[in-house]
Amino acid sequence: MRIEKTFQVKEPIDQVWSLLSDPRRVATCVPGAKITEQVDEKTYKGTISVKVGPSATDYKGELEILRLDAENHEIEILGKGQDVRGRGSASMKMTGKLRSLEDGGTEVTSVSEVNVVGILAQMGSRVISEVSNIMFGQFVKNFQAQLQQPADAATGEAKPINAASLAWAAAKGAFHRQS
C-alpha cells in the first residue's frame, strides 16, 4: 500500500532537517514507538506498542537509514517489525523530503510503501488507510511540538497506540465517505 503525506511547519528547513534526520527524535513523534538500541550509525532497533482493548500487542523491529542526503534534505528509511507473539509483521520503506517555503517555513513530504501481514492486514486497506491518516495527524502534532524543544531535550515514555479507538475512528471515516 502506498501512502503519500505532506504538511507544513513554520520553522526553517535546517531546523526541520535536524529533527527529521535524527531517528531517536523522530521516534518520539510516532505514537507508541521507541528506539531501544543504536546498532550503528544507520541502524536502530526499536519497539512499537499497539493497544487493542485491554491487551497490548508489542512489535520489535529494526530501522535502517538507506539514504541521507543533507544537501537536498532527503532521507530514505526501511523499517521492519515482527509481532513478539508471532501474529504478524509489517515493513515500510519511506522517503522524506523537505522544501523551503517563501515565508521561511518548510514543507515536509513523505512517501511510504507499507506491507502489513497478520491481524492488521485483515482489517483491509480502507481501514488501514484511515488508521494511517489518524496516526499521521498525531505524528504531525508531535513533530511540531518536538521542533519547539532543543535537540538534546529528554523524551518521555511512549504511550501505546490505542488501536481500538483508531479502528473505530477509521471505520467512521470510511463510512462517512461512502454515504
pLDDT digits (tens, 9 = 90+) for 65-111: 999 999 999 999 999 999 888 888 888 899 999 999 999 999 999 99
Three-state DSSP state, 71: coil
For the chain, the average pLDDT equals 82
What does the chain come to in residues? 179
Overall average pLDDT of the 127-134 stretch: 74
**Eight-state DSSP code of residue 151:** T
pLDDT winner (highest mean) among 18-32, 63-77, 127-141, 146-160? 63-77
What is the number of other CB atoms lying within 10 angstroms of the CB of residue 44? 21
List domains and CATH numbers for the chain. 2-178 (3.30.530.20)
**pLDDT at 53 exceeding the cut of 50:** no
Buried b / exposed e across 48-84, counting CB within 10 Å, b at 16+? bbbbbeeeebebebebbbeeeeeeebbbbbebbbbbe
**Claim: this prediction has a pTM higher than 0.85:** no
* Residue 157: predicted pLDDT: 47
Overall average pLDDT of the 16-35 stretch: 92
In whole angstroms, give the CA distance from residue 175 to residue 171.
6
